[in-house]
Every structure is written in structure tokens, then in C-alpha cells.
């Protein structure tokens, strides 16, 4: 299958196709990382509602200190997606800029604590730029964070956006869905951002030699060297990194609201990003695969054209097989592939790691569409959101 391509500004027709129809949730993106940031910014700018299910299992960066201190899910990827979808035309730039700030790593802790208290008092210049209603809400959530902050908690390099979400989470009875909804409303997010589940869990990977590693940061290859051996299985566990050598498997279930959004999607997209920690991790909670199988829409996988340490041993067709495996763990082993993944989008001008066997993917029951996704006018090949969204719009337009 081949879709037509457009290297120009996206048309009004395509914009209309991307908007959800009656009783539709819109496009649902199953993505936990920053790979979809540019796409999200364009959707917000064009005022196209979309749904973003985010994995809260990160164990690296500034997420782990917060998770350890408050025994909670990770919020960093949620913060990033909220900021990408914020309606700047409605809220102005001051609040998103505040949420993107980080406290200085080089300053002593007592200075950072005083700075945070000054922010919570509403007296700092960056706070005075906010409208009164938003400033009062930010003050409330920062104050909630300060009230619950352990004496030994380090604020070095802390993201103010993360602290706001955690403050709202604590103020709202440790309800992550409510906290994310409140922050999204504050920033006038176009669409919806939700954690796929709100359980306190970590991502575990079983390697080809049988060893199990726990912690997303050990899998991604971003903060530590990526595993030397191929990943054979990933699962969720209540065990923390550095703990049990044989961590037990957790089986969290998605909320009815998450299931409803998946079932009513106008399109479901498995987008580019870290294969296991961003994409497959979203498929692990119970109910995801079943809901996707019941959705009456196209379901598109967009593999990475750039290098992904997590999937370095997998060709694109092997990635498709992996996705079907994890989806069928919940949906049922007899569910046809076309009810789980209808299309693979790939750019014929890209060199995919491990190659792409189109015939093998088609033999699985999945269509393959050659579309323009990349733009080479930069110093390196660049993923182009316009092209990607145009291709999605054209596919959606083919729906009966």
C-alpha cells in the first residue's frame, strides 16, 4: 500500500481529518517519552484534541529521587507531554516557562529550599508574571510539596514542573489522575494526557542469558550503557532497582476511562520512541490489548528510523511481531493481527536498523505503507511532524 505524500504545509482537509468525530476520543498515542514532542506541539497549535497515554515507570534522572521520597509513579514524561500540548495562546508563556525551569545544581540545599519557599510565597518575579488565579494555584501546590518534602530530599536540578505535579498529587490524596487533570487544566492542554496506570511499579527486562535487570534507566542506554545482551522479555514489577534478583511480575489493570478512550479512538498510533520502555511498557497493563482489539479504527506503528539501543537486535518486522506478542497477551492469542495493528508506516528513503521485511509484515496480516516521514534538509535526517500528521490524516480519511 502506498499513500500520497505532501512536503508542504498541512492542508485544511488534513486538519479536519485529524479532528475527532462525534463520540470519538481522537488520535490516541501510546508513547511515554519525548519522541512525540514536536507532533504534540503542532496538534496543540492547530487546536486538534488528541489523547496521550504515558508510562509512569521511569527510574532515572530527577524522577527517581521523587519516586523514592514519596513512593509514587514517575511524572517526568507526563510533565513533558503536558508542556508540549499546552495552549500558549490561552495561558501565555509565563506558566509553561516556570514549569520548564530547574533549580540550580551548583547551589547549596539551604539556598534552594529558600528559593522554593520564595516561589511558594508568590513573591518572586517569575511568579508575579502569572495571572492571579494561576499564581494562587501554583503557590498552593508548591506549598503542599514543601509541607511533605523529607528533610534529606535534594532539590539540586529539580524540575519545578515535576514539583508542581507532585504537590498536586499529595494535595489531592495521592490521586495521580486527578493531579494530572488539574495541571492539564491549568495549562489549558489541548486534548488529554493520562498515565496508562497509576500503580507504583518499575520496568524489568529479562536478557537472553536469563538475567533480570530492574529499572527503566538500565534499559534505555541513555544514563548507563545499554544491556550488552538482547532483551527477551519485559514486564512490570513492584520491585525497586537494586532489589530482588528475581522480581515478581505485577499485573496492573487500566481504569475504565483509559479503556473507553482506546475503544473510541479515531486512530491508535504506536509512535517512534524507545521501543521497550516507551512503547511496549504501555501495552503491559491488563486491559490495553483487549481495548485496542475492540477499537473500530486504524492502528498504526511508526518504527524508529534513528538508532534505538533498546531494539538494536530487532528488524522492523521483528518489532511488529514483538508488539503483536505483547498485545495478544491481553487481547487473546487468537486475535487477528489486523485488529491490533493495521498498518506500518515507513519511509523508503530511511535505513532502518536491521532492515524491514515488507513481505513478512504483510504475511502477519498487517499492511505496510511507504510514506514520507523524514526531511533531509538539515545537517542530519530529521523526523518531520507535518509529513507524519499528513499521512495519518490521509489514512483516517479512508475509514468507512
Domain 12-55+252-397 architecture: 3-Layer(aba) Sandwich (3.40)
Q: Mind listing the pLDDT tens digit for each residue in 286-325? A: 999 999 999 999 999 999 988 888 998 899 999 999 999 9
The three grid cell numbers given for residue 304, joined into one nine-digit string: 524508529
Give residue 399's pLDDT: 83
Angstrom CA distances, 163 to 47, 72, 157, stand at 28, 13, 11
pLDDT for res 5: 47
Taking the chain (400 residues) in runs of 10, the rounded mean pLDDT of each run is 52 90 93 79 94 95 93 96 96 96 97 98 95 97 98 96 98 98 97 98 95 92 82 96 84 98 98 94 98 98 89 94 98 98 94 93 98 73 86 89
Residues 6+ apart with CB under 8 A from 342: 298, 299, 300, 366, 367
| Cβ atoms of residues 374 and 382 within 8 Å | yes
**Predicted local distance difference test score (pLDDT) of residue 391:** 94
pLDDT score recorded for residue 378: 53
Question: In this structure, what are the phi and psi dihedrals at residue 370, rounded to the nearest 5 degrees?
Answer: -90, 115
pLDDT value for 2:
45
- Determine the pLDDT at residue 357: 96
β-pair partners for 236: 203
Closest CA to 189 of 113, 271, 78, 272: 78
pLDDT at 382: 78
DSSP labels for 86-141? B-HHHH-SHHHHHHH-B--TTS-HHHHHHHHHHHHHT-SHHHHTS-HHHHHHHHHH
pLDDT in the model for residue 220: 87
| C-alpha separations of 178 from 37, 90, 181, 183, 194 in Å | 23, 22, 5, 9, 10
**Hunting for cell 514520507 — which residue is that?**
372
What is the spatial distance between Cα 280 and Cα 328, in angstroms, rounded to a whole number? 12
pLDDT given for residue 8 in this prediction:
47
3-state SS, residue 314: coil
Q: E strand or H helix at 191, and its extent?
A: none
Break the chain into its structural domains and give their ranges.
12-55+252-397, 63-190, 202-237
Cβ pair 304, 311 in contact under 8 A: yes
What residues contact residue 197 under an 8 Å CB cut-off, 6+ apart?
A: 56, 73, 252, 253, 254, 255, 258, 285
CA distances from 41 to 112, 147, 318 (A): 31, 34, 31
Q: Given this model, what pLDDT does residue 243 score?
A: 72
Read off the pTM. 0.95
| Contact residues for 322 (Cβ-Cβ < 8 A; gap 6+) | 275, 280, 314
pLDDT value at residue 222: 76
Residues 324, 231, 209, 199: is their CA dihedral positive or negative?
A: negative
pLDDT digits (tens, 9 = 90+) for 230-266: 999 999 999 998 876 789 999 999 999 999 999 999 9
DSSP state of 382: E
Looking at residue 353, its pLDDT comes to 87
Amino acid at each position: 500500500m502506498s499513500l500520497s505524500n505532501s512536503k508542504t504545509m498541512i492542508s485544511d482537509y488534513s486538519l479536519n481529518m485529524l479532528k475527532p468525530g462525534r463520540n470519538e476520543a481522537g488520535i490516541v498515542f501510546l508513547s511515554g517519552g519525548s519522541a512525540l514532542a514536536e507532533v504534540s506541539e503542532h496538534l496543540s497549535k492547530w487546536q486538534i484534541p488528541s489523547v496521550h497515554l504515558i508510562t509512569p515507570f521511569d527510574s532515572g534522572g530527577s524522577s527517581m529521587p521523587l519516586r523514592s521520597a514519596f513512593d509514587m509513579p514517575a511524572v517526568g514524561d507526563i510533565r513533558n507531554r503536558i508542556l508540549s500540548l499546552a495552549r500558549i495562546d490561552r495561558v501565555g508563556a509565563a506558566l509553561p516557562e516556570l514549569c520548564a525551569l530547574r533549580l540550580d545544581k551548583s547551589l547549596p540545599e539551604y539556598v534552594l529550599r529558600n528559593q522554593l519557599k520564595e516561589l511558594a510565597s508568590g513573591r518572586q518575579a517569575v511568579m508575579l508574571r502569572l495571572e492571579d488565579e494561576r499564581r494562587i494555584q501554583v503557590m498552593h501546590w508548591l506549598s503542599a510539596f514543601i509541607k511533605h518534602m523529607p528533610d534529606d530530599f535534594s532539590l539540586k536540578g529539580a524540575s519545578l514542573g515535576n514539583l508542581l505535579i507532585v504537590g498536586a498529587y499529595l494535595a489531592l490524596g495521592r490521586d495521580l489522575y486527578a493531579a494530572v487533570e488539574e495541571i492539564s487544566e491549568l495549562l489549558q492542554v489541548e486534548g488529554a494526557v493520562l498515565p496508562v496506570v497509576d500503580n507504583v511499579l518499575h520496568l524489568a527486562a529479562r536478557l537472553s542469558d536469563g538475567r533480570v535487570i530492574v529499572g527503566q534507566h538500565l534499559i534505555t542506554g541513555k544514563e548507563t550503557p545499554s544491556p550488552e545482551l538482547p532483551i527477551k522479555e519485559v514486564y512490570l514489577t513492584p520491585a525497586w532497582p537494586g532489589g530482588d534478583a528475581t522480581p515478581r511480575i505485577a499485573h496492573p489493570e487500566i481504569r475504565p476511562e483509559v479503556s473507553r478512550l482506546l475503544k473510541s479512538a479515531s486512530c491508535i498510533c504506536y509512535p517512534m520512541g524507545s521501543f521497550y520502555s516507551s512503547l511496549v511498557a504501555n501495552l503491559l497493563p491488563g486491559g490495553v490489548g483487549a481495548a485496542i482489539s475492540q477499537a473500530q479504527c486504524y492502528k498504526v506503528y511508526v518504527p524508529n528510523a534513528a538508532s534505538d539501543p533498546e531494539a538494536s537486535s530487532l528488524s522492523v518486522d521483528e518489532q511488529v511481531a514483538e508488539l503483536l506478542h505483547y498485545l495478544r497477551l491481553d487481547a487473546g492469542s487468537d486475535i487477528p493481527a489486523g485488529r491490533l495493528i493495521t498498518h506500518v508506516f515507513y519511509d523508503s528513503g530511511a535505513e532502518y536498523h536491521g532492515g524491514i521485511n515488507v513481505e513478512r509484515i504483510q504475511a502477519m496480516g498487517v499492511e505496510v505503507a511507504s510514506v514520507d516521514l523524514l526531511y533531509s534538509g538539515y545537517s542530519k535526517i530529521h523526523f518531520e511532524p507535518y509529513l507524519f500528521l499528513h499521512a495519518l490524516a490521509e489514512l483516517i480519511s479512508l475509514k468507512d
